[in-house]
Structure 1
């Protein structure tokens, strides 16, 4: 609903940005003030329609005589920069003569002269097209009902933790007794990383999720790269002396494999024997289209596994929420870190998630999402095969891997697609070290279905795909 229409005399004066006047300069203060107001307009701090403070009020604020402010206003009125309205005040009516407002050139350009936005088939974005907007609005309205919070909450809202506990039990088979709210998977990795001593060694998948690598390195930890194959993380390649292992066992990012049952058992056994923590990033584990998922690592080894989940791929990053289920000592270390640093997961997204889940909307959304992404994956696989290329990875998640012969072929295909208005993602950037493999990491969730249908034929047009 639009707000009430204000008449000029009802419009409050704008709060001016800092205006610097140099009393030791030779230029008169009135000239300096007029220049400062022009600059504020050119920079966007003052806009057309803004009501300026009265000359008396501005003089008191700046500590100058009213003669100075009146002379500055008179100059700006004469230039046509401002206009005086009897009984209402002085108003900005446009940029100073000969100047343009500080607006990016692409905003000022006529729509027909702008370059059309590319269609992005990069991974990592959710499928918001299937989100029930009525349910979404209903959840936001419900989230606004409780009064504003006045105290910190390092654990997470009870309603949010109940919703996550139910979700994990029904959709991931994980009985979670103690859930901690987080700001999402990457945020949780960063928090966990800060609970380890600086210099501790943490193994990561190679290729793998580079934001997690960045979070680990940002905490001063040593990252150890471990290879991944068609059965997931190569557990036998893990070196000794690790503090933790970060992995994506349900749907390895970016190769798309799932960690085999034998390797899951072996990884948990080694964690127990060697005393390291397994960080299980279950970023899209709810999204399988072929067979039932294997048991979570956290279900196999709740004493040595920290399980991470996020609403970003399931719903949208707008919420900025995720969850952590971890052994008591790890949970206590995270809460101690939050207490010492003042870090807290935001509550607004927790409230919306809980409200969305309260009446079954989350479960209904997940069913729609699975159907939609399964159909999109089939379309992507068909287009890739028609282009003479292959596909790797499980029937899960929201991306597939398209292997390519070498780095040159990868670069050529990315460039050819970009020239045709389609943004693709190459496997090279998902390596922490020298790239071992080449290929496309083809996402199919972030675009509309119509955009996806327009983008897929580009694969057949690109020279590398012929």
Structure 2
């Protein structure tokens, strides 16, 4: 028998109860609460549920039987036979949906093609073995925190104990949590161009977001204004320009944070993905007292897990845990269990080795296909930047790619120096984005353009098919713009 939806009856109404009941069942079928094939209670059962006489329920069923909406089956009961139409839907004017690109080369998508499906299934089965939790784990599952501590030591060189680690719902979720425990209305510096979702999460918490320019060494620490509560940056692989912050600038940033009582949020979104040289020391290793290290499984595995981590000074961890306990918010444990199983079996380490090889080969193929077109960014991560003379050229390249079924990402969407228009939270400029200490943007940089080219998301076959098309589009538009950007001056 199907769960019965509410069937209110008004005994004071002039309409007979049997008519009201038939109308109620008819409406329940129309709105989906009852579906074709659902078994209805017997007339006796329904009369007891509604506290009416059996004569009322029998009359209602007889009416629906006569109309053809239900049918009686000997020895089985009464079943919904057909579903009445709910009537015409109200006419709404909506924008035409944007067709998804056939091949998506926009940045930020992981390379799921290299995930070992057998290992993936084993991890999910292992994740189902433990007994269901009775109480929430606000800090994260102990096994997950231990797995992350081991992962950080082996793959990022960061010494942390499981107690130092908090599970999160991913990097953006972690930044939103951190924003909620910063002083209300505080000023927070972000990279410009940079990760728009991080800036949006900070702004949504009521913080004043201040944009700081980046160069070929990442965030320009000398341009940080005084009076900041925090600085958000991506030092291992600046998003989206691809620069790596050198050791001297890292030391300078940590020193500024200590001297001025600020917090540094180090987003290590793809720090495991380096193919050329050993990584530099993390900011969290240089300044564990002032740095919050944020990581995620979304770029090295898949957003399906919805899991990440942070390592923070004790006072910050305590503030986050207190807020979680007060609000009842916590990261879901399922993704933590799968990540833990992958790490325990050694499948995570094997996956990272395969992933680094695959992405290194893809990047090499991209650079070769774009011969003669400038490409910026370290040999790391899953995207590069193709600088273009101006924002108009970048938009023209994007449109040409879309016409060929290829999704391309402009630097403009990430708040780069060519972003002169107000846009949404994922691609626009937030309040206070002043570009430097005196609130002025760099002269001569306002109209620089670029394409942020991701190479992890599509299959290898799709990538190899798309690259010659993209290369042709870029060369044609560079030629039409009469020149190739001087990358020394571009940043």
TM-score (norm 2): 0.83
Q: Which residue of 2 aligns with 1:447?
A: 458
Alpha-carbon distance change, 381 to 52 in structure 1, aligned in 2, over 3 angstroms: farther
Q: Deviations over 1:57-112 (max 9, x none)?
A: 3444445544444344334434443332212222234433797999xxxxxxxxxx
Q: Which residue of 1 aligns with 2:251?
A: 265
Q: Which residue of 2 aligns with 1:208?
A: 194
Query: Secondary structure of 1:148's match?
Result: coil
Query: Secondary structure of 1:194's match?
Result: helix
Between 1:28-37 and 1:345-354, the stretch displaced more is: 28-37
Alpha-carbon distance change, 37 to 187 in structure 1, aligned in 2, over 3 angstroms: same
Query: Secondary structure of 1:389's match?
Result: coil
The CA distance in 2 between the partners of 1:214 and 1:270, in whole Å, is 24
Q: Which residue of 2 aligns with 1:147?
A: 131
Note if contact 2:30-2:85 (Cα within 8 Å) is conserved in structure 1.
Answer: no
Q: Which residue of 1 aligns with 2:289?
A: 303
Between 1:17-26 and 1:144-153, the stretch displaced more is: 17-26
Matched residue count: 440
Q: Offset at 1:380?
A: 2.5
Q: Offset at 1:228?
A: 1.0
Between 1:32-41 and 1:375-384, the stretch displaced more is: 32-41
Alpha-carbon distance change, 66 to 159 in structure 1, aligned in 2, over 3 angstroms: same
Query: Secondary structure of 2:181's match?
Result: coil
Establish whether residue 372 from structure 1 lines up as the match of residue 358 from structure 2.
Answer: yes
Establish whether residue 189 from structure 1 lines up as the match of residue 175 from structure 2.
Answer: yes
TM-score (norm 1): 0.87
Note if contact 2:265-2:292 (Cα within 8 Å) is conserved in structure 1.
Answer: yes
Correspondent of 2:160 among 156, 173, 176: 176
Q: Which residue of 2 aligns with 1:456?
A: 467
The CA distance in 2 between the partners of 1:436 and 1:376, in whole Å, is 30
The CA distance in 2 between the partners of 1:300 and 1:408, in whole Å, is 41
Establish whether residue 293 from structure 1 lines up as the match of residue 304 from structure 2.
Answer: no
The CA distance in 2 between the partners of 1:101 and 1:95, in whole Å, is 16
Note if contact 1:312-1:320 (Cα within 8 Å) is conserved in structure 2.
Answer: yes
Q: Offset at 1:23?
A: 5.6
Q: Which residue of 2 aligns with 1:92?
A: 80
Between 1:201-210 and 1:256-265, the stretch displaced more is: 256-265
Establish whether residue 230 from structure 1 lines up as the match of residue 216 from structure 2.
Answer: yes
Q: Offset at 1:251?
A: 0.9
The CA distance in 2 between the partners of 1:61 and 1:86, in whole Å, is 23
The CA distance in 1 between the partners of 2:299 and 2:468, in whole Å, is 26
Query: Secondary structure of 1:246's match?
Result: strand
CA RMSD of aligned residues (A): 2.6
Q: Which residue of 2 aligns with 1:82?
A: 70
